[in-house]
Structure 1
Amino acid sequence: MLTTGLAAVSTAILAMNRQLQVREVLQTIVRSARELLDAEYAALGVPDDRGGFAQFVVDGVSDEQWKAIGPLPRQHGILAAMLEEATPQRLADVRRDPRFGGWPQAHPELTDFLGMPVVEGEEVLGALFLSNKRRPGPDDERGSEPERARRPGPDDRSSFTEEDEALLGLLAEHAAIALSNARLHERGRELTIAAERTRIAHELHDAVAQKLFSLRLTSQAAAALVHRDPERARAELQEVAVLAADAADELRAAVVELRPAALEDDGLVAALRAHVQVLHRAHAATVTFTAHGVRVLPSPQEEAVLRVAQEALHNALRHADADRVEVALDRTSAGRARLAVTDNGRGFDPGEVRRAGRHLGLVSMTDRAAGVGGTLTVSSAPGEGTSVELEVPGG
């Protein structure tokens, strides 16, 4: 069984390491542990510093059952022992343990119990536990499907073995690594978002502050000319209207960029479509989006595609004087995801832009592409519009 179990652990470890979001890692750990040791229920709690759990993930319980159980458990009883003592807990019947404090009415009935702390260094990251190990049937080591499918009574279950404990311990060690990596990834994303917001704040201050200063001077000039030179005053007021409209556009664009994209909840296609719809409503230009054949991409690729699209759209709408911008997401014949942002604006000479020291976000877009193993191509010429194409692996 141990050899078979090690192969299953290897499969579970690979599954955990494919995930980059903490919640996904927790769910993979719990699901893998339950399948590995053939238990009816599995759960993993990540403690907070207030005696409760910041996250609590279960497997083997339906959504309806989970809602009926009620609030998350507190750190007490055997769960507290795992967190405080960082020691495994293997019990024939959890209900007979002196630390058992009961459970809510809708909670499933648990008997035999195997708990394992998830530890990194001296820090206990979580408490992983299984309950109600299924009893092997007479047909083979794991039992026939009807035997395994039925819900046995308390006296009909075998307890978890030392081999089970060893396998769960091995899984918990790798779970700690996967969970730590996911936390580092999310922290890195938070820092990236913070840096992006700081950049936008600086841009907003520079652009809008300058326009508001010009707006103030122009309005003062108009006021001074109202009686002495009405025609010039009228021209100055028209300039006030233009400056006010420009400032409003700057603010709208900043709000759009500051709004967090729903990549985690909705995925890349939905996030891009929502972003394009907002820009279409906020600007005079027609902004369209199409998507064909793109599967779910790894999180870094999805974020890179979204950010490049945002930068390219920013350039098209604020600098190119375009009245039509098309955003397309599709799949190449080589199986890569391809983003294309094309506008019919004034265009530019890429060589001249580089010589003048202006970047139009080209450096950041190129860096984002390179960071996920992708390539960025920018095609433009004066009077002929601009096309930005990004290809990333994993489409």
Structure 2
Amino acid sequence: MRVLHEVSQAVAAINRNLSAAEVMTVIAQSARQLVGADYAAVGIPDDFGGFAEFITDGIGDKQRLAIGPLPRQHGLLAAMLSQRQPVRLDDIRRDPRFEYFPKAHPVMAAFLGVPIFGGEDEEENIGLVVVANDSGKPGFSEDDAERLTLLALHAGIALRNARLYERSRELSIVEERNRLARDLHDAVSQRLFSLRLTSQAAESLVESDPERARALMGQVSQLAREAVAELRAVIVELRPADLDREGLLECLRRQIELVSQSHPAHIEVEVSGESRLEKNQEVDVLRIVREALHNALRHAHAERILVTAHATEVLRVEISDDGVGFDPSEAATRGMGVLSMTDRASTIGGRLHIQSSPGRGTRLSLEIPNE
């Protein structure tokens, strides 16, 4: 029972992380603690005879730098990447597959290595987790091998999930960049094109019809102001929020106030409480709110928008507007990012609800456990 408890704690620690690098770090730390080793490492091979990632635990940063570049796929490490069973040695230096320790590398003897499976094909060997002890220290037992094998099984699942999460975030970033590119084209570029045509028309009428030329120059001035406002709005969306320094709710308030300065719509914001969300969750909350504001201003042509964000045991964010509204059942075909917002909310453990109908405005609410 104690072994299962220790493995369960290690697996829980691994699954609390989302990025592959964080997962690998916790795997190395957990492996070392689980068997009481002096050193531990997790390696993910690349396609060029080396390792894309090789995370260690038990070796300080200074010593790690002195050891040099990441190891190559040679010797015992290469052998482990092609087999399915654990490798347990009392002294790695006596194994015929061992080659050498690099300069500044600790002199290790007892060694235990386990392959990690969990690629697109669950039978694919995607890496390895190894532990070792200093020369003269005790070797590892069969129980240690079983613990590490069980840990590696869960590590493969966690790494696969982390890769899927990172891919989804990469797609979200691409999607957001594409939307910003469309904004620049649809809003700023079109206004600048109109400004150019109007100024050319005014120039051609300066001598023949001065009154008409003055009227057109007034339009040029208005178009220029609108183009500047649109450009400022896009810049606000590009500017990263300082979540570490300000916190989510203050970032929301500041971002919304900046947006209100660039649009004629009346935008109010009310925030209270303190977010206890993970950083990745807070970033996605900001993106959902930006998308909702974008829809209210550019698609719904809202004149009044209210944004509220209150954090207690649950973080509740609501964006309501008096715009033209829409049929939520047709949102997927309207290019309004509703599916993207819904998926993003689900990914971070939240729930998104949208109330709207043609001519009656829109209310979007997001709820996330604030733990």
**CA distance in structure 2 between the aligned counterparts of 1:287 and 1:315, rounded to whole angstroms:** 16
Structure-2 change in CA distance of 1:154 and 1:354 (3 Å): closer
- Are the aligned partners of 2:112 and 2:140 in contact in 1 as well (CA < 8 Å)? yes
SS in 2 for 1:114: strand
Structure-2 change in CA distance of 1:177 and 1:281 (3 Å): closer
- What is the 5 A alignment of 1:81-100? 81-100=79-98
Q: Return 359-368 or 233-242, whichever deviates more.
A: 359-368
TM-score (norm. length: structure 2) = 0.78
Pairing 1:65–2:63 present: yes
Pairing 1:115–2:113 present: yes
1:101-129: per-residue Cα shift (whole Å, max 9, x none)?
A: 33343333322111111123342211210
Counterpart in the other structure of 2:274: 293
- Are the aligned partners of 2:249 and 2:271 in contact in 1 as well (CA < 8 Å)? no
- Are the aligned partners of 1:52 and 1:74 in contact in 2 as well (CA < 8 Å)? yes
Structure-2 change in CA distance of 1:74 and 1:392 (3 Å): same
Which consecutive unaligned segments of at least 5 residues does structure 2 have? none
Pairing 1:280–2:258 present: yes
- Are the aligned partners of 1:315 and 1:360 in contact in 2 as well (CA < 8 Å)? no
- What is the 5 A alignment of 1:3-18? 3-18=1-16
Pairing 1:338–2:316 present: yes
Residue number among 225, 238, 261 corresponding to 2:205 in the alignment: 225
Structure-2 change in CA distance of 1:40 and 1:366 (3 Å): closer
SS in 1 for 2:108: coil
**CA distance in structure 2 between the aligned counterparts of 1:6 and 1:17, rounded to whole angstroms:** 16
Q: For residue 221 of structure 1, report the CA deviation from its aligned partner.
A: 1.0
Pairing 1:269–2:243 present: no
Pairing 1:127–2:104 present: no
SS in 2 for 1:392: strand
SS in 1 for 2:274: coil
**CA distance in structure 2 between the aligned counterparts of 1:19 and 1:279, rounded to whole angstroms:** 33
- Are the aligned partners of 1:272 and 1:306 in contact in 2 as well (CA < 8 Å)? no
- What is the 5 A alignment of 1:1-395? 3-120=1-118, 121-132=122-133, 154-155=135-136, 157-258=137-238, 266=244, 269=247, 273=251, 276=254, 280=258, 283=261, 292-297=273-278, 299=280, 301-314=281-294, 330-332=310-312, 335-339=313-317, 348=322, 352-354=324-326, 363=338, 367=342, 371=346, 372-375=349-352, 390-395=366-371
1:131-160: per-residue Cα shift (whole Å, max 9, x none)?
A: 11xxxxxxxxxxxxxxxxxxxx733x2111
- Are the aligned partners of 1:46 and 1:56 in contact in 2 as well (CA < 8 Å)? yes
SS in 1 for 2:17: coil
Q: For residue 327 of structure 1, report the CA deviation from its aligned partner.
A: 7.1
Structure-2 change in CA distance of 1:275 and 1:46 (3 Å): farther
1:271-317: per-residue Cα shift (whole Å, max 9, x none)?
A: 97399469739945899997742213374x43441122213454677
Structure-2 change in CA distance of 1:95 and 1:360 (3 Å): closer
Q: For residue 83 of structure 1, report the CA deviation from its aligned partner.
A: 1.6
TM-score (norm. length: structure 1) = 0.74
SS in 2 for 1:56: strand
- Are the aligned partners of 1:308 and 1:368 in contact in 2 as well (CA < 8 Å)? no
Structure-2 change in CA distance of 1:348 and 1:364 (3 Å): farther
Q: For residue 99 of structure 1, report the CA deviation from its aligned partner.
A: 3.2
**CA distance in structure 1 between the aligned counterparts of 2:114 and 2:252, rounded to whole angstroms:** 43
1:201-238: per-residue Cα shift (whole Å, max 9, x none)?
A: 33332223422331222112111111122333233223
SS in 1 for 2:258: helix
**CA distance in structure 2 between the aligned counterparts of 1:290 and 1:320, rounded to whole angstroms:** 21
Structure-2 change in CA distance of 1:370 and 1:71 (3 Å): closer
**CA distance in structure 2 between the aligned counterparts of 1:287 and 1:47, rounded to whole angstroms:** 52
Structure-2 change in CA distance of 1:281 and 1:391 (3 Å): closer
Residue type matched to 2:50 in 1? G
Identity of aligned residues (%): 47
Q: CA RMSD in A?
A: 4.0
SS in 2 for 1:112: strand
- Are the aligned partners of 1:27 and 1:57 in contact in 2 as well (CA < 8 Å)? yes
Q: Return 202-211 or 182-191, whichever deviates more.
A: 202-211
Q: How many residues align?
A: 355
Q: For residue 179 of structure 1, report the CA deviation from its aligned partner.
A: 0.8
**CA distance in structure 1 between the aligned counterparts of 2:303 and 2:336, rounded to whole angstroms:** 17
Structure-2 change in CA distance of 1:48 and 1:255 (3 Å): farther
